[in-house]
Each structure stands twice: as C-alpha cells, then as structure tokens.
Structure 1
C-alpha cells in the first residue's frame, strides 16, 4: 500500500455488520490435516479452536423447546425436565447429568475449574479468585448436609467450627454455641447432621469460607447431576478442549464442497450423513433431499478420488433419522436431524439450508441429554449456529472409514420443513447493503435496463490480488509495517488484497471477534501476526467481505468524480483504473500520480494501468458479482 501520499480514512457506521459477526462467530485456528485417502501433502483448514470455546461462549440456540422428564426422573436420579428459549447458551439449559458422558465435568473440583476457566473480559487464562465468589453462586453446596460435608471435604471434620463461618452461622441460628468444638464434635453432640447450609443467607460468605471445599470433586456432592452448568462457578467458561473428556476432531478427512442443492432434489444414495444408530450412509429415498455434494481434494489421482467423488451430505433441516439409546431413546419420538459427528459425541454437526442462489450453506450444532450408563436422547436440541461455507470451500468431515457403513438399510424421513431465507442470509444482505450503497440483485435482465458501466468485482479482485499478493502468500500474505497520514494510521497490509489493518471494513470484522481489538492494537504498534493469527482474526471469507464492500464504496464515490483527462465523470476503463489507484494509494491519492509504495514497484498511474490490463485478461462474463454504479445495482449469483 502507498505510504508517500497522505490520505484520510473516514469512519463508517456498520451496526448490522457488527451484530452479524457478534452472533455465532466462533474462534478458529488453522490445522494441518493429513489425508490418508490421497497422496497430497497435509491440508491446512480452518477449524473451531476448542481451546477458546466454552459452553457459555457458544452461540445462542436458534429455536425454543422443552422436555417433560418426569417419566425418567426416578430412574435417572435427577430431573430431566427442561425449557430453553431462543438465544440461551448451552450453560444455561444443560445440567451436569446431561453432559456426563460427553465431558465428564463432574470429575472437576472448583480448584481445577478455576485454573482452566477462560474469562470473556480478558481473553486470557487466569485463575478465578474464589475469595471473590459468594457461596450463594454455588447453590449445590447449600444442598449438602453438614454430615455429608464433613465426610467429603478434606480435613473439614477436624476443623474448628469458628473457622467454618457459614457452619458457625447455621449453628447459631439453631441456638448452638459451639465455636470451640470441631465439626466432628458438633455432629456427635448435637442432632444437626441433616441441616443444610441453604437454610441461611450464603451471599455474605465467599466460597473459601469453607476450608478445602474447592478441592472436592463435584461428583462427591449429593445431587450433582441436577445442577445447571451455569450454577457451578467458572464451569461455563472452561474451554471444551480442557474438559476431563475433551472435545477433539475425529479422523482427518477433508473434502471440497463441489455443489449445493435445494430441497427439490430426491433419491440420493451416496450419502455420508446419518446417525450413530443407523450409521452414516443413510440414503434419502423420498422428497426434500437437499444436500451438499462433496469431492476429494484435487490432483489426488483418479483412482483414489473416485471412491469419494460425489459423496452427499444430506440436510438435517429437511431429513431426520433414528437416534438415541437406552431409556431416553423415546424422547422426541426417537428422531434427530441427519448429520455427522466429526468432533465426537458432544455435538452433532448438521447441514441446514443449502442455498443454490448464493452457492452457500449454513451448518449448525445439535445437542442431546445423556444420563451416564442409562441412555441418551436423540440429538434434537438446536440449532446452534456453526460454520457457513461457499462452494469450493474445504470442509472437515471427520473419520469416514469408521462411520460410513450403515447398520440399517432404512431411509431418512422428511421433516416437512419449508424453505426460507435464513436469518444469517438476511442479516448478511442487510449488513452488506449498509456497508456500501450498492444492492444485491441478478446481473441478468435488470442489468440491461441500467445505464452506466458494469464492473465485475470478481475480476477486479483477481486483478488486484495478482499485483498485491500473488507469489507472496495470497490470502496468507502479511505486508511490512508502515505509517500513513503523517503517522495517524499505522499497521500492516493483510491478506489476499493487502487491506491495511486500519481499513474500516477490515476493522469492523476484526474487532467483532474475541481479542480482536487487542490484536489490532499490537499490529498498530508494529507486531507481525502469524499466519494462524491472520486466519483467526481475518479469515479468507472476511477478506472477501471487506474487500468487496470497500470496492463497492470506492466505485460508488469515484463514478461521481470528474476525470481530469476527459472533463467528464469517471466511467468504463478509467473508472477501473482510478478505483485501483485508490486501493493502492487511498481515497484521496493524486489521480494518475507518480508516487509509489515503500518498495517503489509501481507508481499510482502504473498500478491503475496494470490492474486494468489484468482485469481485461481475467474478465469472465460467467462470473456474476457485478456492480453497476450509476444504477446502484450489485449482484451475487
């Protein structure tokens, strides 16, 4: 980017964009995955960073629901009845008994939790100070009898009552003055063993007021299965990769999304979706077989690729399968969305709405309730927004070998769901329209009635990327540290289009992520981010989003400006040249100027002409992202 020409970056208000990226934007990391099915080298793919994702930090659930657990309570030993509302995070409606099989969180003590929790406010690991948390925020301890506490808390029975202030307060409420006695002596001399701490106000005591209670495993406390995750201090903030039974990826298979198909499809038999009951190749033999068509990675050799080519992941929004086991199998009529378990049994990953008009697809997570050794419900609690993909994106599908064989020849069953524009798509369109003055529409038909010049943004993007990052990392490229505007804006050029780290559209996307503002502050001071950090805070999809919004904005403004070489408004190829110059030198750079960047490669004028030449060469009318400035029409197909 140009550094010798002074220019101004102006503020852009994009509240819709911020909301969109606040809702369900999960921390990610780059993982190298070896593909045993091919001779290709390890593939780099973006996966959830489970070291930074906890139950309280997962997106809110997208649909309200309830379960009547009364028929199962006696057998399970806790109350399965539950109600959850849209927007609630899993820590608010999951109990410890529900997640015992998946995470074994009951193995934790408060001490262990405090050392693993991830505070949302700092974004860094630090020990939770139990001295600052009142006992009232740990209601499970209030449910324990004095006899049970003396039994399970190390050395508590031999501790003087005066040093266990909540117990002393409880005894005082019963008219017992026993400050000089140990708890064991009190339990011997007085009939108070069945008294519980919840009989007094626990908000005035910190958790540490009961010595060594933080060392007790949760499973040693009575009725632990009935406690909500949110009622165990710090547990909701423990990263899922740090649970006693940690979440992790299962297998190594990565596939490419070749195409997406809507619910008009039927009779699909080469599937890799299903359930852990029916297997993961359940066919869709009736109607509403919306699906993703997946392919092996390219250049693996025809013989190897043929085994995986054309595999189908059926949408769980439109098809359901058999799920659940044990006494809980009957919940939700024994049905769950078809999908896969690439990250183990804690969550089921489900394809939701394959959108043929935008070549995109949303996925979601679904949960289940499991009572240890008693059974599990089907995966029916969801959807929790997960990743969104475009055609040609890489998708982690997990261990195909162990999951591909179906144990049943039965088919999936249509859910009867109706096609609708997803909330993510609607928010995306709203955000994009607010990010720039162009609108999204079809480039065919309506375009012919518009006056003005059509600029294919895909071709323009390819032309600029060829100059900026080709041969230097493409979407992983990181530029040198530089300052502009007399030192007011400092940072680095990032990604395929070398967007400056202070570009307002890039900033909006970065700061919406946990730790994003701190990341930008470090880059502003000269820090060179790693490849993993770049993909964490400005992944490829965000680079595209920011670039397209920035280009549309520049086109809209530039086409209203006067070209000094013609005395007319910028149009046609001169519009392309000037927009490219602005990308290189800033919105207020000198038209056809001779200034260059820190490397002295190209002048402003040369940059515009080079971009135009590349645009001419790469322009493909089959590409469909087009901006028509004078008509304010913008199109994705």
Structure 2
C-alpha cells in the first residue's frame, strides 16, 4: 500500500505530485482532450472509436522480471508516459481473443494491404525458426524455394531453384535460422512475398502472446468493438453520481474484485484500507430526485443502486489474481495479491477504478493485469487515465459478473482469403463440387435429424415407389436407396439381408455392424453426397429455369439424399424423419449448411486444401480452421445446442479435413476412446500444449479446443447460448476439474 500512502494527502487536495500516482493532472488533461469529454460526463464511451493506440499513456513506470516457475519467459520494462499499446501484450488480455486475427483481417479493418507491410515490421513472423515457420504458414513448405523470395535470399538460392522450401529448410544447419538473419535486407521484402503469411492466424506463431499490441502491424489501431471478442460498447446498467466524499465506514458498495465479489464494504477484513474510505454515492438513473431519466431498455435491466457507493481505488485494495502470477509484485506499488477496488463495466480486459476526488469531479483510470497461460496477476500492473465525472453525471456500472458477451452480438470478423495459395491443390476440386463444400453439406444433412443416432441405430420402416427399407446407422441412411444397397450388397450375404429388411424384418444391431459398419456408413454418405451434387448439376431447377446452383443445389441434393434419385422436385411426401416433407427436409439442410459457415461458389475450399497439406500437423490445422469459423451456432446440431459439445468438435474437425473422432461422434467418451486408441496422444505437460489440441474434462463431462500455446484459453460449446463460443480456462473456469489434453496424431 506504499503508493496509497504517498498519494493520499495529495489526492485529498485534488493534486497528485508523485508521477507514480494515477490520474496526474497533465496526463488526465491530455486524455480528456483526446476524447473531447463534455462538462456533464458521459454515460458510456464509444469504444467503436477507441483502440489501444489512442487509449493514452501509462501513468507509472514498472518492470516484470522473467520467472520460469510462473511461466514468465521474458522480462519487460516500461516508464511513465509510454504508450499503452507498447506496454500491453496480447497475452495480458485473453478475453479479447486477439490471437485469432490474421494480418489480412486486421488490414481489412484498419485499411492496409499485405504488400504495404514490410517483413521488418512483423518481428513475430521473422523471428520464428524456419522449420517452425513453414509449419505455421499453410502450404509454404510446398513451394519451390526460388519462388519464395525471402527464404531464397536467406539460403542464396536462385529463382529457378526447383527444390521445395521443405527440402531446403529441413537441413540440419537450418534448424536455428530465421528470416531475421536477413538483417536490413528484410526491408526489401513485404508480407505478400511469403505466400499465405497474411492469412495465417497470429496464434499459429509461437510466442504470439508475448507480443505487444504495437508489435503487430495495425493491431493497436483495431477498435475495441471489432476485436474477435469485443469490449461491449454499452451497458444498460448506469447510475447517477449523487455525492462524493469521505466516510469512516461504507457498508453498501458496488465495488470489489472478481475474486471476492463486487459488494465489498469499506473497510473489510479481506481488504486493505488507507486511512478513511472515500466513495461516490450513487442514485438510480431514474430516481425521482435526479434529472436523468432512463431509456426503456435501461429501466428493464436496471438494478436498484440508490444508496450504494463506488469506493475509490485509492482508498481500498482488494484480493485479485489467480495461479502462479497471483502474487507477482505490483508495478503500481500495491501489496502483492491485491488490486484497487473497482468494477468491470466494460469486460475483463481491464478494470475501471475511481482514483481521486477533485472538488465536484471524480477521476477514473483503467487498470491492467498481466497473464501467462491460465494464470493472471491482479489488476495492479499498469494504468491509463480514463473518464472524469462531474457531480450529477451518469456512470456505467455494468453487471456484477464478467460473463462473456452473447455470441449473437459478436462482430463478424472479416473473412480471411477464400482459398490459400497452393502450388499443388491435388484433390481439392473433387471435394468441392459445384461450389459446395462436400464435408459441410454432409454435416448439414445429418443435422436435420433432431436426435443423435448410433452406428447401430435401426430406424423407421418406410416404403416409396414400391421399394421398402429402413433408416440405418448413425446417419439414418435409407436402405432402399441405390447407394446404400450397392454398399451392403458388396458384403457376403448382404443381398439376402437387404431383402429381409425390405420384407419388414427389423435387423439386430450386431447385424448392422456386420453388413453396414460405421466406416462404410461414412464412406457411403461421402460418396453419395459427391455423386448427388454432380447429378443435380445436370438437372434443371424449375424455379430458376437453369441448372441447380448455390442454395437451391444444396436443397435438391438433400432431397435426393433422403428420398433417392427418382425423388420429385420439392415433393410434399413425408419421409418419416421428424415428419418433414422432402421439400422441408431440403430447406432445413440449407439452413444448417449456412449456420455451419458453408459457402457457395467455392472453387478450391480452404477445408479441402488443409486436409491435404496440413494433415501432418492437425493441431495447427484445427487452430486455423477454428480461427476462420470463429464462434458459431450449434442450434442446428442433433442436440439442438444444449448437448452439442462433441458434435461441435467434430464439426470443426470436418471443416479442417480431419476424420470425425469416435464411433459415436456426438458422444464425448467415444471421442476420448478414439484418442486413446490410436487417433491421438495425451499432452502430459500443459506448457507443451498447442493451439488446436483438445481438452476433455474428467469422466467425459465436457470437451473443448485449445486456442493458444499452453492451452491458457479453451473454446467449447455453451449450452445456454447454443453456441460454440464459451472461452474459458483449461479447467473450464474451475467448474470441471481434472481435464486431460490430447493431440490428434492420426487425422
């Protein structure tokens, strides 16, 4: 509490003479002018106009020393007046998800093209050891080294050199080389000289969390509302500042910390108080004693705040932080393990703290922490001055919890390139038929069914056009369609078994495994989807008067898949699944395809390209695919979004060109069994975990995907929001202990 003792007398006088104190007049004045605050204060600030580059300068100097035990791999130091963007590192604000960005996406937001970025400006990329670099950037290793100018310059290769990049880089003497070895020559190359580097997510590059926002070209200029997980721009929960002053006891508060809650009295045995308690008394924004009236939305969501106080952080510090960094020394001079009391009205990236009362105005600051892996210090490392609030103005209080923003309100990130550049696309065209992604369409058709099925599931008995059969297996494929009959008839005794089913006999599950095993079911669905796409393209769509295309092609293929190749167009025949007609079945499949991120007009889909050349590094492939997909709805899944964790994982794998995991792909224990029996390996040391590894909670209770090195952040399904959009710690925010990390080894 040394910093409080030094600053407290000056704060009472409305002046802070020590540079270590927050809100020094010079910096506060500069900040206020930057944001053009009016004399009445603001209910909220427009974060769509604010980035880390214009959030100001830190108020005090400090340093963080490397510590192998806590995971701090590098020391850093800063001084008062340094730009926040040069002090703040990507790993310090995991709630923003900055690692999901590629430079192409950043450029589309702030306005630059890849050829405008010199390689010398992107040190994270150029410092990567070459063997690591060519695995991180899709397909780079496939190119002739002479066509990749920066690498050719490094190894003195001629432009006509036919050797692949992989052949050159995988030599023993290249293990420690990096593009940084080019020195000043890096300035002669730009990002477009490295194929696909602009579309590579930051989290694919080792050490990305230790980069400052200023280190990544353009990132510090991205508005905070356009981050992958944005700062909320508004909150319906506001209060009016009624009075401000000092008291020996403040019992009803709205302040505290995430660790101890946000209604901590001052003083409290769990906190440290400097002399008296200083606070700002609040009134409801719709209180009859105030002049401010709430909007209808505010009135509906507004808790009762009258009579409560927001305690100044200069008066009280409270417990904060977690893990190995919880007791990291504070660069602001607070006791280890403590942070100034305050709130998180704008999310977990920073904490808003009231810092001093100056006459009839109270000043505030945004205080930051540092994080490594899943451990974070308290919010006590560095701060920037924030808003000043005159008496009677409104202040955003926000909710007590730091619940992530509803995925429905997340920004849509600029899509990365539709297809990576690749010198040998191989079978790409065969898996993207008619501009439709085969793997996504398969998943969309399967998801029409409301309930998940097992490979041994025996479905309804149906007859169409004089042919009878049953829906069979995990995809409920009808046995009276040509594709299924052909596959089963190839098995010894298969024809007789089909005839018995057609006559009305219900087969036993063991028979299904004999004549129509799971791998054959998947192969039939894949082959059938491809052939139906090709068939439909030769037919005419009566609505459009042309061949089947785009969304109508998706609908028609789904109809043909469910009803057979002789199915009438947009038929009203009920096919027995969910009571849908064939027309409705096709429409639902199209909606599912769109919900799963499927596109139309694809020529060489990212999914299929990745399946070929990234198969040796499935974790990187999964990470890149998830970055492209972002947070997606799981409402169209068999579990309707509530019990869809396993389904969502296999959707990501499918999009990444990786075979589904598990005999029962919608069942977590089945996925874990597959990983333990040949498809994967455990990662015993969490520090060795990579983005794209899988995390499974004890007893198969939940499953997610690592978003970064060390698996500090995990994304998984949120059953309440029906979205694959819950970003948590490795142990799912402590709700599910005993998690195991797996790495897929057999894609």
TM-score, scaled to structure 1: 0.51
Match of 1:276 in 2: 258
The alpha-carbon distance between structure 1 residues 204 and 259, as it changes in their structure 2 partners (threshold 3 A), is same
Task: Describe how 1:76-87 pairs up with structure 2 within 5 A.
Answer: 78-79=73-74, 81-87=75-81
2: CA distance between counterparts of 1:82 and 1:190? 33
User: Which residue among 190, 201, 212 is the counterpart of 2:196?
Assistant: 212
Q: Secondary structure at the match of 1:23?
A: helix
The alpha-carbon distance between structure 1 residues 66 and 185, as it changes in their structure 2 partners (threshold 3 A), is closer
1: CA distance between counterparts of 2:161 and 2:221? 38
Q: Secondary structure at the match of 1:56?
A: helix
Runs of 4+ in 1 over 6 A off after TM superposition: 17-20, 175-178
2: CA distance between counterparts of 1:53 and 1:402? 21
2: CA distance between counterparts of 1:299 and 1:349? 24
Q: Secondary structure at the match of 1:331?
A: coil
The alpha-carbon distance between structure 1 residues 169 and 240, as it changes in their structure 2 partners (threshold 3 A), is same
Match of 1:267 in 2: 249
Task: Describe how 1:234-273 pairs up with structure 2 within 5 A.
Answer: 234-248=218-232, 251-262=235-246, 265-273=247-255
CA RMSD of aligned residues (A): 3.1
The alpha-carbon distance between structure 1 residues 50 and 401, as it changes in their structure 2 partners (threshold 3 A), is closer
1: CA distance between counterparts of 2:401 and 2:85? 33
Q: Secondary structure at the match of 1:66?
A: strand
The alpha-carbon distance between structure 1 residues 60 and 136, as it changes in their structure 2 partners (threshold 3 A), is same
Match of 1:92 in 2: 86
The alpha-carbon distance between structure 1 residues 301 and 57, as it changes in their structure 2 partners (threshold 3 A), is closer
Per-residue deviation at 1:18?
12
2: CA distance between counterparts of 1:325 and 1:24? 33
The alpha-carbon distance between structure 1 residues 142 and 316, as it changes in their structure 2 partners (threshold 3 A), is same
In the alignment, structure 1 residue 114 sits paired with structure 2 residue 107: yes
> Over residues 418-451 of structure 1, what are the superposed CA-to-partner deviations in whole Å (9 max), with x where a residue is unaligned?
xxxxxxxxxxxxxxxxxxxxxxxxxxxxxxxxxx
Q: Which has the higher contact order (CA 8 A, sep 6+)?
A: 1
Task: Describe how 1:332-351 pairs up with structure 2 within 5 A.
Answer: 332=329, 333-351=336-354
In the alignment, structure 1 residue 60 sits paired with structure 2 residue 54: no
> Over residues 451-470 of structure 1, what are the superposed CA-to-partner deviations in whole Å (9 max), with x where a residue is unaligned?
xxxxxxxxxxxxxxxxxxxx
8 Å contact 2:364–2:386 — kept in the other structure? yes
1: CA distance between counterparts of 2:286 and 2:347? 27
Match of 2:31 in 1: 23
The alpha-carbon distance between structure 1 residues 290 and 19, as it changes in their structure 2 partners (threshold 3 A), is closer
1: CA distance between counterparts of 2:26 and 2:379? 31
Match of 1:378 in 2: 378
In the alignment, structure 1 residue 104 sits paired with structure 2 residue 88: no
Q: Secondary structure at the match of 1:327?
A: helix
2: CA distance between counterparts of 1:190 and 1:385? 51
Per-residue deviation at 1:192?
2.7
Task: Describe how 1:402-421 pairs up with structure 2 within 5 A.
Answer: none
2: CA distance between counterparts of 1:308 and 1:47? 17
In the alignment, structure 1 residue 328 sits paired with structure 2 residue 316: no
TM-score, scaled to structure 2: 0.44
Per-residue deviation at 1:204?
2.0
8 Å contact 2:253–2:308 — kept in the other structure? yes
8 Å contact 2:42–2:393 — kept in the other structure? no
User: Which residue among 48, 51, 56 is the counterpart of 1:51?
Assistant: 48
> Over residues 31-72 of structure 1, what are the superposed CA-to-partner deviations in whole Å (9 max), with x where a residue is unaligned?
xxxxxxxxxxxxx96422111111111111111122223254
Per-residue deviation at 1:208?
1.6
8 Å contact 2:44–2:234 — kept in the other structure? no
8 Å contact 2:146–2:158 — kept in the other structure? no
The alignment covers a number of residue pairs equal to 353
> Over residues 286-316 of structure 1, what are the superposed CA-to-partner deviations in whole Å (9 max), with x where a residue is unaligned?
63211101111344699x9995322111110
User: Which residue among 204, 226, 235 is the counterpart of 2:210?
Assistant: 226
In the alignment, structure 1 residue 147 sits paired with structure 2 residue 131: yes
Gaps of 5+ in 1: 1-16, 31-43, 118-126, 404-637
1: CA distance between counterparts of 2:198 and 2:402? 41
1: CA distance between counterparts of 2:172 and 2:68? 39
Q: Secondary structure at the match of 1:47?
A: coil
8 Å contact 2:242–2:391 — kept in the other structure? yes
Per-residue deviation at 1:253?
1.4
2: CA distance between counterparts of 1:113 and 1:58? 18
2: CA distance between counterparts of 1:27 and 1:379? 24
The alpha-carbon distance between structure 1 residues 322 and 186, as it changes in their structure 2 partners (threshold 3 A), is same
8 Å contact 1:293–1:311 — kept in the other structure? yes
